[in-house]
Chain A
């Protein structure tokens, strides 16, 4: 037996981060008492949320039934993000899930495509990705498990109502022994000898002790920041957006699209996330370039349908805690850092924090090796995501001062190296820790109009006619497969229709 096992875990804060953590710990740690304290008086940030495919792994860890979860959260499927007006007004591209085409030996498919383009082909790269093709047609079906079928290449995630998701996970967690306490944390008691957290005190005077504390209190960072004073590394020189305003509306316009839309605007970008019962919208912007009033006015003016509810303002600062795990406190979610949700990474970073915490679960001795490894991995992963987000802003051709600044800013060396390599011959080399695989980088590099000056010279060693025929067959197969799918709307109606 481990000599000093953790007996009690206290999660401070509900919301998406808190309840995802509670659900996972409740499921996996059977002999540990898990408590979550939250206050109904404190609003959570959660708005309409978009996710990325690894979320299905989290659902599997929990053993969640997908249709039931989608029904409970008014969820829809997501196959891609559509980026509108990003390089310049009128431009549009998809960043789909899944990969493009089939590599031939050591040669990447997008290199074959680059060569075809250089010879005058205008066929979009999206034609070789089933998720993209189905997204454009508004179709959806669950992927086939038979790897011989084109339909097996479909990759998907979800859009859902984060408030309902937290509620769904809450009943999941409570059914597995997680105790929920209502209350507001007013004080944090530290141990004199080592500065570890001993307890938190609630507004009604109750004092809660635990061995391990999880800070899911959001931007405030009640434990990691306010009690343990962990500094924040500011990334606003790369990512200057510091506000968002959210406002849902009636579903209209393009309706229940199986993709998220991110539209560039004067001083930031707007999201559109279609759910079953409504459409989530928001405007992420830089307060130095746009007033709150102007942002709301712009958001209202661009809604698909009549607004549902008042605007909800959120303030933030891009960056990360210098350490996410300090002493006996692990910050998960917004308390650990923030990257704007341009690539729907917020929930994934929560999931990734939980997975790492389980892989490095400590004992009461809190050996510094667990802490060091957790922080090393989190920082590595977060910085790779950061680079990917910065790429969207750096490579633009828009006129506004906000976008000019983004274009001219110095970027991290790690990203500059990637851009240079891609701009030369479309080459990319991946870190094992990068959440976004090569096809994602290809989609966004090309989408942001970084056109390689040449292609991999080895492509010319392949039989050009054979390659061209194969590409044509593949595109036709992808197209036929997508066209045979039911509409997204119809599939949801059959699979997971929520009550209105």
Chain B
């Protein structure tokens, strides 16, 4: 067999991470690389909650969204509702714009001004996606830039196993070969490069580039040092189960804090996934199961699946001829649903920096620099939830609130707290509106606002905000329900 110009790539590990990588590489290399994926274990269970960015990955792959949604029990996602992080409070972290900036001054400065002048309506009222989600509505973004619907964005809730099946079908049709078997042995050259992976069944997988998609086991990249973040993010375990319930849920992921940890609810078309992220030495699995089942019917529940969780990262995710994508490269507990985005960003970065003999070291340095920045910014948002929440009913929350705060986050929090300044760094996954909604939602109100907001008379500001709120409410109420939008999808 003649060698293909881009060489041989072996993706070790199936699951969402492996198959996203396989589908992405198959599309990008267009038959000029020999791709093989090794399914090392059973496929994933569980549900996925994604960010709008994943839709551009699907577009790159040429996936039809309606068909994908039909195949994966998908529902739409307009954002995430956080509740109970401070007892009795909730807020929505919805996609899309927050209000509208006026005369070059950001919307939240006017909101803060109104707040200080005697009170303002909840910030959520000024995010159209949040208003829609709250009233059980859904609409895709409008293409007319003048429509209030133009700035909308949405993600998806999908069944993980079904999503893998779609990607697997796509990737194998594009020439990705599949092997099966657990990783037995990893053979290395003197340089540290991987020469071959021997599977439990004896099959020998040789490749020029190995992609580690073995998740937390990190079977290939595991020889690289691990930077542990357990002092920054206290949870270390999660449990999930599926309930068969048919009800019209809003287009939201629910993230609810309880004494034991934070509970998530992801609505699918014929069920809901519930899970709990917690800390093992504080909460045993049985207690966690009870917490995850809170509010679910007694019957029609799947067996719970418990997974250890280790927040942290490999100091290098590309090393020699090995690159780690997904949780083998780094883990941040996923209350912000960035997990698939991190996989996507790893795949995209691998495509952009596809290493070849002679330039592998230069490519790896840049791959690792960009990956580290991306992961740290996502981590900082996760820390923010713990830091700002005010629960007093569990040791987990005290640990999270009182842990160290990395300097870039401390700077960001101080800037916002003082004058509502939103600091953005390079390689941010979450943009300004997301940070603002999170910070204000958790009760971090700026002490001051941009003085340029004072150029508009207070009464005019109040009237403009009131009008905006009204338009958003009326717009939302004119839209179909989430259930109707799902029913209207042509498969």
Contacts and interface: CB of A to CB of B under 8 A. Distances in A.
Interface stretch (A76-84, A218-226, A273-281, A425-433): A425-433
Interface stretch (B25-33, B85-93, B133-141): B25-33
A461 B365 CA distance: 25
Contacts of A484: none
Interface stretch (A15-23, A143-151, A155-163, A366-374): A366-374
Interface string A440-457: 000000000000011011
A187 B455 CA distance: 34
A358 B450 CA distance: 9
A31 to B, nearest CB: 7
B451 A361 contact: yes
Interface string A96-119: 000000000110000000000000
A421 interface: yes
Contact of A431 (B6, B363, B426, B450): B426
Which of A2, A28, A432 has the most B CB atoms < 10 Å from its CB? A2
B30 A461 contact: yes
Interface of A: 1-2, 5-6, 28-31, 105-106, 358-363, 367, 369-370, 372-373, 417, 420-421, 424-425, 427, 429, 431-433, 453-454, 456-458, 460-462
Contacts of B60: 105-106
Contact of A106 (B351, B362, B370): B351
B489 interface: no
A363 B426 contact: no
Secondary structure type dominating chain A contacts: loop
Contacts of B6: 457-458, 460
B454 A433 contact: no
Given A362-B451, A461-B32, 13 more contacts: A2-B454, A29-B452, A358-B104, A359-B450, A361-B452, A372-B411, A420-B362, A424-B359, A427-B352, A432-B424, A453-B359, A454-B358, A461-B28
Given A106-B352, A363-B448, A424-B362, A458 B418 contact: no
Which of B32, B363, B419, B421 has the most A CB atoms < 10 Å from its CB? B419
Contact of B29 (A361, A367, A461): A461
A178 B415 CA distance: 31
A107 to B, nearest CB: 9
B348 interface: yes
Nearest to B4: A460
B423 interface: yes
A433 B426 contact: yes
Closest 10 CB pairs of A and B: A461-B30, A424-B359, A369-B418, A2-B451, A424-B362, A431-B426, A420-B362, A369-B415, A461-B32, A432-B426
Contacts of A417: 365-366, 369
Interface string B230-241: 000000000000
Interface string B416-440: 0011010110100000000000000
B370 A429 contact: yes
A369 B6 CA distance: 50
Nearest to A423: B362
A340 B362 CA distance: 31
B354 interface: yes
A325 to B, nearest CB: 14
A457 B354 contact: yes
A453 B358 contact: yes
B317 to A, nearest CB: 16
A31 B457 CA distance: 12
A48 B442 CA distance: 53
A424 B365 CA distance: 12
Contacts of A369: 414-415, 418-419, 421
Given A358-B452, A361-B452, A429-B366, A456 B419 contact: no
A362 B448 CA distance: 10
B225 interface: no
Which of A361, A429, A433, A454 has the most B CB atoms < 10 Å from its CB? A429
25 contacts: A2-B448, A2-B454, A5-B451, A5-B454, A28-B452, A31-B455, A106-B352, A361-B451, A369-B414, A372-B411, A417-B365, A420-B362, A421-B362, A421-B363, A425-B356, A425-B363, A432-B424, A432-B426, A453-B359, A454-B359, A457-B6, A457-B32, A457-B356, A461-B31, A461-B32
Contact of A361 (B351, B356, B369, B450): B450
B449 interface: yes
A421 B366 contact: yes
Contacts of B423: 373
A433 B426 CA distance: 8
A424 B448 contact: no
Which of A30, A106, A424 has the most B CB atoms < 10 Å from its CB? A424
Interface in B12-47: 28-32
Contacts of B449: 2
Interface string B67-84: 000000000000000000
Interface string B350-375: 01111010110011011001100000
Contacts of A433: 426
Contacts of A29: 452
B8 to A, nearest CB: 14
B32 A460 contact: yes
